Structure 1
Amino acid sequence: MRKSRVHRMVLATCLGSLLLVIFYFQSGPSPVAEDGILGSSWFSKTGRSPLQMLYDSNQLQHSPLHLAHQKRRELLNQVCDRYTRKRRLLSPEDLRHLVVDDEHGLLYCYVPKVACTNWKRVMMVLTGGGKYRDPLDIPAHEAHVPANLKTLADYSPAEINRRLRAYLKFLFVREPFERLVSAYRNKFTRSYNTAFHRRYGTKIIQRHRKHPSPEALARGDDVRFEEFLYYLIDPHTRKEEPFNEHWERAHSLCHPCLVHYDVVGKYETLEEDAAYVLSLVGADQAGIHFPTSSKITHTTGSEAAHFFEGISPFYQRRLFNLYKMDYLLFNYSIPSYLRLR
């Protein structure tokens, strides 16, 4: 019994140290990378890491784009200070959305439905050692194979801390309800997403449809938008299991009040923000650019408004409260089509 107790004490101490060490290096800004902390292979031709390029480059300091990103960082800090009373400790599970590029000193937190497929393609090019040249040459499904990219959760506590200090950390976000409608359209209105229909559609129909047909209960392929929203705001949903990443809040995936992000890109300004990040790496000089395609369709504000037409103000308010922190942290206005009063 005594040996078992000692083992438990040692385990608790180790786990506590892991969480405390991870948290320690995220609590403040990281203005300068630690020279040579993981070798110099990822330094640009200027001899500076992306993090140093961001904070120390005289060329960037007065550019309108640089100042816009500075304001986004400042807003994050202000909102976190105001609304986060007690900052919990990060766990390894919280780091699974942070993709690591050791070659260039990057940490990218991916948010589904915010161009994450193309960003993963770019990360595969950056980390592929010349295996890939053009991000669009990589099939979309390959970008989502876990083995093709490392995440921060794959490293030891000491390695995690070094990367959090020395690497440039960035994420891309999107107007929350446009992202939500995009997730619904992709996962519940496309015939090929049978896995989502069976996994989530059948459950949603069973809980939130009066008198469902046996076929609907079995197939789950005709979930209505209002049923999807009822599922999201139902307290039992999150008690039962975490949200799927496609409709989980961006701040719950990337933890911007615990991880100090250096660049907050936006879907609405995707092209220029992506170019900004890649210029800090020097990838643009190597001919690596973020993919742009006229074939890509995306949900607009007017399309999102159409989906909310039949939703009562009561449920609109409850849903907005669920995603409120994303609106505050990333400076999105309340959609004009909502009737919250």
Structure 2
Amino acid sequence: MNHIAKKATVTAIGLLLGTYMYAMVIGNAANSTIVSSPDYEALKVETRSKKENFAENESQKEEEITTLEKGLTESDSLDEDELSAEEESTVEADYEEEEQEEEDEETDSERIERVCQKYKSSLVEEPSKLSYHHFHVDNRNKLLYCFIPKTASSLWKAINAILNGKTSETNASKINNYTAHFVIQPELLHHYPAKTQETLLESYYKFTVVRHPFYRLVSGYRDKLNPGKKWFKKTYGTKIIRKYRPKATVKEIRSGTPTFSEFVDYLTDPKTVAVPKRVDDHWTQYHRLCHPCNVKFNYILRFESLKEDTDHLLSSRNLSDLVTYKYIAPATNAKKVNRYIRQLKIEKLLQLYKVFEIDFELFGYDFDIKEYLT
């Protein structure tokens, strides 16, 4: 009930009570039988007394009504204040919750440490058993870059060559992929003595670039097998078709162009999974190339935010003036990836995820099977 309604109700109640009491007084007087003058005089006194009492009662009721109205007004004001306070408290609580969520969000290093503990038996290796073939050394700027194929490795190999002084070119985009991968020879951590490796891993700034595992697989399949490169088609494609395509013709086998589903059959085959060293680097799991449970990376770049992350790294290391590059959007986008992944049966999709599950968890990529169901 609002303030005006409350006031009207109280006033009405007061008037009704007053009218009722006045009627009682007049009624009693009218119904009295005047038998004698003394009785009449007594009745007059009694009536005057009742009128005075009535007036006094009326005055009291007016005071009560005023007090009640004041109380209602204060109550309404109090309710409004309390509501505002409650709303303010809710907003403040929501804000604090958002702040807490931001504070509680895992950093890359925290998440990697947690996942490494979860899979400790299979991820943490003895240093002597580790291979550092994928770690490029930049002694000029004290950087260690672990390259992962199909995660902008061509760009970062070119940047690394410029920073190391292995080329006079300063624009990384003008160094073609062939030159970046095969002509310019980087310094690899693998070539250093064990003691030096340990020192560099401890003191140099370590980083890598990662990408959603499924996007990387589709990109690798399209680049190496369909339409692909001759060496990859001959080395992997022909074998995949021969094994996973029933009644394949000689022509089909020689084409070296397996379907994406056949490619996934190969990746999820227990024999392939059991011998990961035989799997090409372009579809080997991240953790087998860069050992994130043994190497504490300072920075993880995301292929999905490559330009921002690359600019940030160069700027934070005071290297922005030494190198330039032109960002080019990747050819393998979400639409293309979904078209390939949706070719897989649910059971096969789940098997594929299982093969790369640790990479998904280590680098915070989500897997939602509903995303790929048609």
Instruction: Confirm or deny: 8 A CA contact 1:100 1:152 kept in the other structure.
Output: yes
Deviation at 1:298? 2.7
* Match of residue 118 from structure 2: 82
Q: What aligned pairs does 1:212-231 form with structure 2 within 5 A after superposition? A: 212-220=248-256, 222-231=257-266
Q: How far apart, CA to CA, are the structure 1 residues paired with 2:232 and 2:167?
A: 35
Q: How far apart, CA to CA, are the structure 2 residues paired with 1:129 and 1:113?
A: 23
* Match of residue 145 from structure 2: 108
Distance 1:68 1:282, change over 3 A: farther
Q: Which runs of 5+ in 2 are unaligned?
A: 1-102
Higher relative contact order (CA 8 A, sep 6+): 1
- The one of 269, 272, 276 aligned to 1:234: 269
Instruction: Confirm or deny: 8 A CA contact 2:151 2:303 kept in the other structure.
Output: yes
**TM-score with structure 2 setting the length:** 0.67
* Match of residue 244 from structure 1: 280
- The one of 287, 291, 295 aligned to 2:326: 291
The answer to whether residue 175 in structure 2 is matched with residue 142 in structure 1 is no
* Match of residue 134 from structure 2: 97
Distance 1:214 1:314, change over 3 A: same
Deviation at 1:304? 1.3
Q: How far apart, CA to CA, are the structure 1 residues paired with 2:156 and 2:105?
A: 19
The answer to whether residue 348 in structure 2 is matched with residue 311 in structure 1 is no
Instruction: Confirm or deny: 8 A CA contact 1:204 1:231 kept in the other structure.
Output: yes
Deviation per CA, 1:124-178: give whole Å up to 9, x if none.
Answer: 0000166222112222101112761011001111211111111000011001101
* Match of residue 309 from structure 2: 273
Distance 1:213 1:323, change over 3 A: same
Instruction: Confirm or deny: 8 A CA contact 1:73 1:264 kept in the other structure.
Output: no
- The one of 198, 207, 216 aligned to 1:161: 198
One-letter identity of the residue aligned with 1:313: I
Distance 1:147 1:121, change over 3 A: closer
Instruction: Confirm or deny: 8 A CA contact 1:183 1:246 kept in the other structure.
Output: yes
* Match of residue 23 from structure 1: none
Deviation at 1:303? 1.9
Instruction: Confirm or deny: 8 A CA contact 1:313 1:338 kept in the other structure.
Output: no
The answer to whether residue 320 in structure 2 is matched with residue 326 in structure 1 is no
Q: How far apart, CA to CA, are the structure 2 residues paired with 1:70 and 1:255?
A: 20
**TM-score with structure 1 setting the length:** 0.74
Deviation per CA, 1:245-270: give whole Å up to 9, x if none.
Answer: 11111111111011111101100111
Instruction: Confirm or deny: 8 A CA contact 1:69 1:263 kept in the other structure.
Output: no
Q: Which has the larger radius of gyration?
A: 2
Q: How far apart, CA to CA, are the structure 2 residues paired with 1:206 and 1:230?
A: 12
One-letter identity of the residue aligned with 1:232: L
SS of equivalent residue, structure 1 residue 305? helix
* Match of residue 262 from structure 1: 298
Q: What aligned pairs does 1:129-208 form with structure 2 within 5 A after superposition? A: 131-145=168-182, 148-190=185-227, 193-208=229-244
Q: How far apart, CA to CA, are the structure 1 residues paired with 2:176 and 2:225?
A: 22
Instruction: Confirm or deny: 8 A CA contact 1:107 1:170 kept in the other structure.
Output: yes
Q: How far apart, CA to CA, are the structure 1 residues paired with 2:327 and 2:129?
A: 33
Q: How far apart, CA to CA, are the structure 1 residues paired with 2:167 and 2:266?
A: 45
Instruction: Confirm or deny: 8 A CA contact 1:109 1:171 kept in the other structure.
Output: yes
Deviation per CA, 1:275-294: give whole Å up to 9, x if none.
Answer: 1211132111x24234313x
Instruction: Confirm or deny: 8 A CA contact 2:161 2:167 kept in the other structure.
Output: no
Question: Aligned residues: percent identity?
Answer: 29
Q: How far apart, CA to CA, are the structure 2 residues paired with 1:334 and 1:168?
A: 30
The structure in which a higher percent of residues are helix is: 2
One-letter identity of the residue aligned with 1:145: F
Deviation at 1:300? 2.1
SS of equivalent residue, structure 1 residue 143? helix
Distance 1:84 1:298, change over 3 A: farther
Q: Which runs of 5+ in 1 are unaligned?
A: 1-66
Instruction: Confirm or deny: 8 A CA contact 1:98 1:151 kept in the other structure.
Output: yes
Distance 1:253 1:68, change over 3 A: farther
The answer to whether residue 371 in structure 2 is matched with residue 337 in structure 1 is yes
Q: How far apart, CA to CA, are the structure 1 residues paired with 2:241 and 2:169?
A: 43
Q: How far apart, CA to CA, are the structure 1 residues paired with 2:105 and 2:167?
A: 30
Aligned residues: CA RMSD: 2.2
Q: What aligned pairs does 1:7-22 form with structure 2 within 5 A after superposition? A: none
